[in-house]
């Protein structure tokens, strides 16, 4: 992955929060994980192939996604499926933007959403895996980028 | 008893013959109106009627009809009559023919579904009982010339049998039909009618002509004498028939929008039936009106039957029952009382006619219904559905027709798919010609199918994807089984290629494919040139599995299929070349890795592997520390940056001691980024991306070295390296320092002698070794860069051109002392103060009151450098700060002695744990 691409993904996530909810998210210090990757309650994964191979995922806790649901759908106390839909929607936005901006040499998968720890997530990511903490409304999520 | 002339006898015999010929008419009419599969069955029933009627009429029927009357209800004599009497014989002959006609009406109505045996039973019942009884009521006593039937006595007139023959036949038909039900497929669930086309209406037309001809005898003979009335009777009957035909045709034409052949036939018959009861008593105009109305009655009755879903195969009930009733009534309406001679008024006559109609209905329908209902209970009268489907010709009589044999072959083929079957060919028949042509088609089909099954075999076994593509971009109906497995997509036949491939390809490849296919369909460009330019000789396709995109490498090959010079299709071959491509890729990647490893190898070859390993551990530790600082330092990015910087600097020092220039450079550019971030105010976290990204690169370098080192270690087990050729392990730290000093001297144009004789490494506890080495590196670098002056400068100061740096370690009061001393310029307070003001660390006024302690504090602060330029060795202003941090981590203290222009001495005192002493 190039530095520019990495920045682009972060920007997409940041813009998502800003545009959808009106209140901006804050990015933490990006770091690298070699072995143990960061996975929270709900995760949306996008596979990327073609000119670059690997994966991107966004993972967040119930707190962040509940607030996001409230902000977007005005629903209190959403069920797990709605939270999964929320994280899926965010990943859709990432995938959609990636498709638009990364040119024709990329294949970007339809996002897959999982609850809990996804199987073989490590396999989909190519090192170095960059982890970007994102906090919004006092809750934490992580954008994880592992592309060649 | 009336005397009869020979002429009468001749006429009645002739009339009987004409009525007999009507049987041929009925056979043709009915056979033409049903489907060919039942034609033989229906014809033979007409003939059978004759046999049954004669055998039933002679012993029983005739006596019941014409014997001495019992209360006007039925006859009681003349059973098994002897034909000694000439007139009796003629009379019997004529009425036997009449009787069987009545039975034949039933045969047509119930056609195509009744069992032959059941039909014979029905005929027997009707001719032995039903018909003779009605006949007795109307014509009883006519043999003697004295009416004896109860209806006749009331004045009921039925000249030639509208009620006795036609209506009775019609009522029996209705009773049977109600029990029998409609033919399969005749009526839809919504009540609409399916027209069942007859096998040959031309035959029916001939039959009708014969029937009309027979009617001359039927009505004309009913005079039972050759008298002056006969010609008029025959003509009035014909007039009525003609009127019936014309009216039905015209009305039907208007309704059905075409001249329906069946209506011409049935219209004529309706008119003929209509005049049967009255033809001897009416005027010509009446005959026309009766015939016309009869046609309308027939049309109405036909519509009514379909409405009630009563399936009459040959429209017998509308013609015979409908018009029989009308004809009977017409006697009362149009009959000339002078000729009727009943003495009844017209109204009374009509009333009596109505009684006759009702009585006939009750008896004929009622008795027939009861008898046949009982019969059907014990002996079902209808054939099985499959027999009905196959046709009664074969099922009842095993009488096949060529068309049936052809049909059977077709059906067998449809059922079994056995293409080896051939239709029987009857020479010189139309069906035979059809069968011959059909067999030819099957021959070709079979040849093609054998060929096709071979293609199919190839298609299901070839390992490549193979398909045809048409100009619209659609995939052909046949393709190899492998195509589905290569594309991991099912049911591709007839689909558009691009829609199948678009989820599997990047848009770039997709566009290329589209353009190339377009060019291939353009016949003007040479195919060989095109195939050399094939941009799809190797492309990557992707299949999503979960969130992962599994990739495959495929090769597309195209071949034009021409018709004349036009490209009509492309044959496309799709081959999975993943293994081959992966192998190539692996080889290329391995070569690249080897090259970069060799490159790396040259960069590290001068260092002893164990020493390198030690460095590598330190490198990885440091990188991990930086990463942990990032991960854990979210709250205070500024402080995190400072800590990161010190680690990076120490890494740089360490690598420069080992002369690992590429790592020194990488660490230096890492420092650049950190430094740059430190100047940002406010500091945005997104700025850290470059830093983390660089960290990733360094990690990758470390990984590469580790891999290489593992390889070298395993190599070393086999090869012993000669002593002294490599920068060896940690006990030679002082040597490495000496190298670093001489390198720095070379780079800065200084002359430096490095004395490390007093550096006793054994005094240093292993646990502190790396920290102390880091500290020593920084102090020695500081001395070399900042302490020692250039030879020219030293010369001016009358110092030896060669500067001196001395490194010593010793123990003092349970502490380890590390001393780095140089004979350089010492501290220059004015220079330091100027630097502090310039860096904005202090004002001029503040520096004016600086003590020696302030000066020392200043040089140990981070971000202060006295070097004019930033180089790999100096200029960051972090070296002494790092020393301070490192010393602090070992609970050490630093003392500084100096004399401006003369010397500088850093003394670090580190307390040792008791057990280390």
In whole angstroms, what is the distance from residue B340 CA to residue B369 CA? 34
In whole angstroms, what is the distance from residue B652 CA to residue A11 CA? 33
Percentage of chain B lying above the pLDDT 70 cut: 95
Please give the pLDDT value at position A122: 61
Q: Of A32, A101, A122, which to mutate for an interface test with B (greatest number of B Cβ within 10 Å)?
A: A32
Yes or no: say if B85 and B146 are a contact pair by the CB < 8 Å rule: no
Convert the pLDDT of each residue in B639-657 to its tens digit: 888 888 888 888 888 888 7
Convert the pLDDT of each residue in B68-80 to its tens digit: 999 999 999 999 9
Tell me the count of A-B CB pairs closer than 8 A.
Answer: 97
> Nearest 5 degrees, angle CA B446-CA B448-CA B449?
65
What's the per-residue H, E or C state across B226-262?
CCCHHHHHHHHHHHHHHHHHHHHHHHHHHHHCCCCHH
- pLDDT exceeds 80 at position B507: yes
Report for A117-131, B10-24, B485-499: range of highest mean pLDDT? B10-24
Of B625, B671, B725, residue with least CA distance to B862: B671
- pLDDT exceeds 60 at position B799: yes
**Residue B76 DSSP class:** -
A50 and B542 in contact by Cβ < 8 A? yes
Please give the pLDDT value at position A120: 64
Reported for B397-400, long-range contacts at CB under 8 A and 24+ positions apart, including other chains, are B397/B40, B397/B41, B397/B44, B397/B116, B399/B40, B399/B41
Of the given ranges (A50-59, A62-71, B87-96, B466-475), which has the lowest mean pLDDT? A50-59
Convert the pLDDT of each residue in B442-483 to its tens digit: 888 888 887 778 888 888 888 888 999 998 889 988 888 889
B692 and A29 in contact by Cβ < 8 A? yes
> Does A53 lie at the interface with B, CB-CB under 8 angstroms?
yes
Please give the pLDDT value at position B725: 45
Of B845, B848, B799, residue with least CA distance to B826: B799
Of the given ranges (A28-32, B359-363, B522-526, B558-562), which has the lowest mean pLDDT? B522-526
> Nearest 5 degrees, angle CA B430-CA B433-CA B438?
125
- pLDDT exceeds 80 at position B384: yes
**Other residues' Cβ atoms within 10 Å of the Cβ of residue B309:** 12
A131 contact residues in B (CB cutoff 8 A): 631
> Does A49 lie at the interface with B, CB-CB under 8 angstroms?
yes
Mean pLDDT of chain B, nearest integer: 87
In whole angstroms, what is the distance from residue B841 CA to residue B854 CA? 12
Write out residues 496-535 of B within 8 Å (CB-CB) of A. 505-509, 511
Task: Tell me which residue in A3, A109, A123 faces B544 most closely, judged by beta carbons.
Answer: A109
B547 and A128 in contact by Cβ < 8 A? no
A29 and B508 in contact by Cβ < 8 A? no
> Does B707 lie at the interface with A, CB-CB under 8 angstroms?
no
Convert the pLDDT of each residue in B338-355 to its tens digit: 999 999 999 999 999 999
A29 and B546 in contact by Cβ < 8 A? no
Q: What is the pTM of this model?
A: 0.49
> Does B900 lie at the interface with A, CB-CB under 8 angstroms?
no
Q: What is the average per-residue pLDDT within B807-825?
A: 90
B700 and A128 in contact by Cβ < 8 A? yes
A3 and B690 in contact by Cβ < 8 A? yes
How large is the ipTM? 0.89
């Amino acid at each position: 992955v190039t530095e520019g691409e990495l920045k682009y993904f972060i920007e997409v996530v940041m813009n998502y929060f800003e545009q959808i909810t009106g209140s901006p998210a804050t990015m933490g210090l990006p770091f690298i994980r070699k072995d143990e990757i960061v996975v929270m309650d709900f995760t949306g994964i996008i596979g990327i192939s073609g000119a670059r191979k690997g994966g991107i995922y966004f993972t967040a806790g119930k707190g962040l996604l509940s607030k996001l649901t409230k902000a977007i759908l005005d629903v209190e106390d959403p069920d797990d499926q709605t939270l999964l839909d929320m994280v899926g929607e965010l990943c859709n936005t990432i995938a959609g933007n990636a498709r638009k901006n990364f040119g024709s040499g990329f294949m970007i998968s339809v996002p897959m959403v999982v609850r809990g720890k996804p199987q073989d997530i490590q396999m989909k990511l190519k090192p170095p895996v960059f982890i970007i903490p994102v906090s919004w409304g006092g809750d934490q999520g992580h954008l994880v980028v592992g592309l060649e | 008893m009336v005397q009869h002339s020979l002429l009468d006898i001749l006429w009645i015999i002739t009339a009987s013959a004409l009525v007999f010929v009507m049987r041929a008419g009925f056979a043709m009419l009915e056979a033409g109106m049903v489907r060919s599969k039942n034609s033989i069955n229906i014809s033979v029933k007409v003939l059978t009627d004759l046999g049954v009627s004669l055998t039933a009429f002679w012993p029983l029927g005739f006596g019941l009809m014409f014997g001495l009357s019992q209360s006007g209800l039925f006859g009681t004599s003349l059973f098994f009559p002897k034909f000694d009497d000439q007139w009796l014989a003629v009379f019997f002959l004529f009425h036997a023919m009449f009787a069987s006609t009545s039975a034949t009406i039933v045969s047509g109505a119930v056609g195509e579904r009744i069992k032959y045996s059941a039909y014979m039973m029905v005929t027997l019942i009707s001719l032995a009982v039903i018909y003779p009884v009605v006949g007795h009521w109307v014509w009883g006593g006519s043999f003697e010339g004295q009416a004896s039937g109860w209806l006749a006595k009331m004045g009921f007139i039925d000249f030639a049998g509208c009620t006795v023959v036609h209506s009775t036949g019609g009522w029996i038909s209705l009773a049977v039909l109600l029990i029998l039900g409609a033919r399969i497929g005749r009526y839809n669930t919504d009540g609409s009618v399916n027209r069942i086309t007859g096998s040959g209406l031309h035959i029916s037309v001939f039959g009708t002509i014969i029937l009309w001809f027979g009617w001359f005898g039927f009505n004309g003979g009913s005079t039972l004498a050759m008298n002056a009335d006969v010609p008029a009777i025959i003509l009035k009957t014909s007039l009525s028939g003609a009127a019936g035909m014309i009216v039905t045709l015209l009305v039907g034409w208007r309704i059905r929008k075409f001249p329906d052949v069946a209506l011409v036939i049935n219209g004529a018959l309706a008119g003929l039936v209509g005049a049967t009861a009255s033809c001897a008593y009416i005027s010509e105009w009446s005959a026309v009106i009766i015939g016309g109305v009869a046609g309308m009655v027939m049309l109405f009755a036909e519509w009514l039957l379909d409405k009630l879903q009563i399936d009459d195969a040959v429209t017998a009930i509308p013609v015979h029952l409908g018009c029989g009733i009308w004809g009977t009534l017409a006697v009362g309406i149009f009959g000339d009382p002078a000729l009727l001679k009943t003495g009844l008024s017209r109204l009374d006559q009509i009333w009596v006619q109505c009684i006759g109609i009702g009585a006939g209905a009750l008896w004929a329908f009622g008795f027939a219904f009861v008898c046949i209902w009982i019969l059907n209970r014990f002996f079902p009268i209808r054939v099985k559905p499959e027999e009905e489907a196959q046709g009664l010709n074969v099922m009842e009589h095993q009488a096949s027709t060529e068309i049936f044999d052809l049909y059977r072959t077709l059906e067998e083929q449809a059922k079994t798919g056995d293409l080896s079957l051939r239709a029987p060919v009857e020479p010189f028949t139309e069906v035979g010609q059809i069968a011959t042509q059909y067999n030819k088609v099957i021959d070709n089909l079979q040849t093609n199918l054998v060929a096709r099954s071979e293609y199919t075999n190839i298609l299901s076994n070839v390992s490549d994807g193979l398909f045809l593509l048409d100009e619209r971009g659609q995939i052909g109906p046949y393709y190899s089984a492998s195509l589905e497995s290569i594309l991991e997509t099912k049911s591709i036949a007839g689909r558009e290629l691009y829609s199948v491939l678009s989820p599997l390809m990047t848009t770039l490849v997709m566009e290329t494919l589209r353009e190339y296919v377009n060019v291939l369909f353009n016949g003007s460009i040479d195919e060989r040139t095109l195939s050399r330019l094939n941009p799809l000789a190797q492309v990557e396709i992707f299949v999503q599995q979960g969130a992962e995109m599994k990739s495959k490498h495929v090769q597309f090959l195209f071949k034009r299929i021409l018709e004349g010079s036009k490209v009509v299709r492309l044959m496309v071959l799709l081959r999975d070349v993943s293994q081959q491509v992966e192998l190539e890729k692996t080889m290329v990647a391995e070569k690249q890795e080897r090259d970069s490893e060799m490159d790396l190898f040259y960069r590290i070859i001068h260092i002893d592997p164990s020493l390198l390993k030690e460095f590598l551990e330190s490198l990885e530790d440091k990188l991990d520390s930086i990463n942990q600082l990032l991960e854990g330092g979210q709250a205070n990015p500024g402080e995190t940056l400072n800590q990161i910087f010190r680690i990076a600097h120490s890494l740089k020092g360490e690598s420069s001691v080992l002369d690992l220039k590429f790592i020194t450079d990488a660490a230096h550019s890492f420092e650049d980024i950190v430094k740059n971030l430190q100047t940002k105010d406010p500091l945005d976290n997104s700025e850290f991306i470059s830093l983390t990204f660089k960290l990733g690169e360094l990690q990758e370098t470390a990984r590469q070295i580790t891999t290489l080192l593992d390889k070298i270690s395993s190599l070393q087990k086999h090869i012993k390296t000669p002593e002294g050729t490599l920068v060896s392990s940690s006990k030679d730290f002082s040597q490495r320092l000496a190298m670093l000093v001489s390198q720095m001297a070379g780079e800065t144009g200084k002359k430096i002698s490095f004395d490390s004789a007093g550096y006793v490494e054994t005094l240093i506890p292993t646990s502190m070794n790396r920290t102390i080495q880091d500290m020593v590196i920084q102090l020695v670098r500081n001395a070399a860069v900042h302490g020692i002056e250039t030879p020219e400068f030293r010369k001016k100061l009358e110092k030896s051109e060669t500067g001196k740096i001395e490194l010593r370690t010793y123990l003092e009061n349970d502490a380890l002392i590390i001393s780095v001393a140089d004979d350089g310029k010492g501290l220059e307070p004015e220079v330091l103060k100027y630097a502090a003001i310039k860096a904005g660390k202090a004002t001029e006024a503040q520096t004016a009151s600086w003590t020696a302690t302030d000066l020392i504090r200043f040089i140990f602060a981070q971000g202060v450098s006295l070097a004019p330029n930033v180089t790999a060795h100096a200029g960051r202003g972090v070296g002494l700060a790092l020393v301070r941090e490192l010393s602090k981590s070992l609970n050490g203290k630093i003392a500084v002695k100096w004399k401006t222009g003369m010397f500088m001495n850093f003394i670090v005192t580190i307390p040792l744990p008791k057990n280390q002493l």
